[in-house]
Amino acid sequence: MLNPTNEQIAAIDATASGAPVKLKAYAGATKTSTLTMIAERLADRRGKYLAFNKDIVADARRKFPANVSTQTWHSLAYSATHRAITARLNLAKEPPHHLASRYGLSAIKVPTVIGKSVELSPFQLGRMVADGSARFCRSAQAAPEAWHIPVDEKIEQAAAEELRSMLLPYVVRHWDESADPRGRTC
């Protein structure tokens, strides 16, 4: 048994008070030990420990008392997602130029910030749609928005805005297809 430091005692007391607590500490600065002390103090409560990878989870499983269940974030997300969707994880990824062709997106010319123009290929447009959809997934928004679509900074601002507005319906479609249990690509 470790003798808790004053900081650890403060962390344990704050958590035991029932208030939401955020502890931020550098590598090796006793985060896990402090959490196990908290779990022991709150022995009549259930806890969940979430970590990024399996090694950390396996390590935590050895350290935490039985009232704490341990899982990776991905495993939590996986178990909360409909089987029809997780079953699609092994499907082939649709290449950006296939996506563009399926959506009827052809090459377009857009002005750059240095007064020239550049052609965006179907591959690039398909990638912008897929990336826009992926950025939406990592955002807090309820639906895809134009700013989720990444546009190369060399493209002139008004043209970039127009491009985003033009591509937004395709991002919405891409997301709808991604969330469709009967979808055929990943």
Ligand X SMILES: Nc1ncnc2c1ncn2[C@@H]1O[C@H](COP(=O)(O)OP(=O)(O)OP(=O)(O)O)[C@@H](O)[C@H]1O
Question: Where on the chain is the footprint of Mg ion (CB under 5 A)?
Answer: 31-32
Q: Using the minimum distance from each CB to Mg ion, give the nearer residue, 23 or 172.
A: 23
* 66's tokens: 């039985």
Considering the complex, what minimum distance in angstroms separates the CB of residue 42 from Mg ion?
A: 18
Locate 106 and state its tokens. 């052809």
Q: How far is the CB of 33 from ligand X (least distance, A)?
A: 3
Give per-residue burial for 65-96: e unless 16+ CB within 10 Å, then b.
Answer: eeebebbbeeeeeeeeeeeeeeebeeeeebeb
Instruction: Provide φ and ψ at 71, rounded to 5°.
Output: -160, 155
Compute the least distance from the CB of residue 38 to ligand X, in Å. 12
Distance CA 125, CA 129 (A): 6
Tell whether residue 5 is a contact of ligand X (CB under 6 A): yes
CB 132 within 8 A of CB 167: yes
Range 25-84, binding ligand X (CB under 6 A)? 25, 27-33
- Please pick, from the candidates 2, 137, 143, 158, the single residue that binds ligand X as defined by CB under 6 A: 2
- Report what 28 binds from Mg ion, ligand X, none; CB cut-off 5-8 Å by kind: ligand X
CB 3 within 8 A of CB 10: no
CB atoms within 10 A of CB 99: 23
The distance of closest approach from Cβ of residue 37 to ligand X in the complex, given in angstroms and rounded to an integer, is: 8
Q: If binding is defined by CB under 6 A, does position 111 make contact with ligand X?
A: no
**Binding track, positions 136-165, relative to ligand X; x by CB under 6 A:** ------------------------------
**Residues at the interface with ligand X (CB under 6 A):** 2-5, 8, 25, 27-33
